[in-house]
Amino acid sequence: MSTKSQITYVNADGLIVGRMSSHIAKLLLNGEYVTILNAEKAIYSGKKKSKVAEAHLFLEVGAPERGPFHYRRPDRILKKTVRGMLPCSQQKGKTALKRLKVYMGIPLELKDKQTIQFEKAQASKLKGPSFTLAELSKEIGWNQGE
């Protein structure tokens, strides 16, 4: 296992959500601590109208008092995406998820930290339309005051 001092900081600005999440899941399973910064600037690929419609259908499932509970904040959406790529029913997946932290923006104590970006997850490789996670969250009912 790795020590707490081995922390990887990932800047999600301009990275595709799914590809970035798969890279992060591998790092977590290898025992590294991962902190994701600028979660609201991560990119969804595809037509915005169809992705928003999918999100609205997903949010209709369940009852408000019993669940399942669906998140609308960009940092929580991103954490749940990474969780979906981990074997959370096993102990190694649960401990890997505990090593993940996700932030919207960059906290003051992390301003001067060296961040990485995954080359294969860059949104510049996209040919079709794309939009940010913050735009999706606003469309499905997230208020920035929350």
- pLDDT, one tens digit per residue, over 25-71 is 999 999 999 999 999 999 988 888 887 888 888 878 888 788 887 78
Section 73-93 average pLDDT: 95
Average pLDDT over residues 71-80: 91
Which range, 17-26, 70-79, 118-127, 137-146, is most confident? 17-26
- Reported CATH class of domain 7-139: alpha beta
Task: Say which residues have a Cβ less than 8 Å from residue 8's Cβ, sequence separation at least 6.
Answer: 27, 32, 33, 34, 35, 116
- Rounded Cα gap, residues 15 and 123, in angstroms: 5
DSSP class per residue in 49-74: HHHHHHHHHHHHSSBTTTB-----SH
pLDDT at 2 over 50: no
Q: Residue ranges per domain, the chain?
A: 7-139
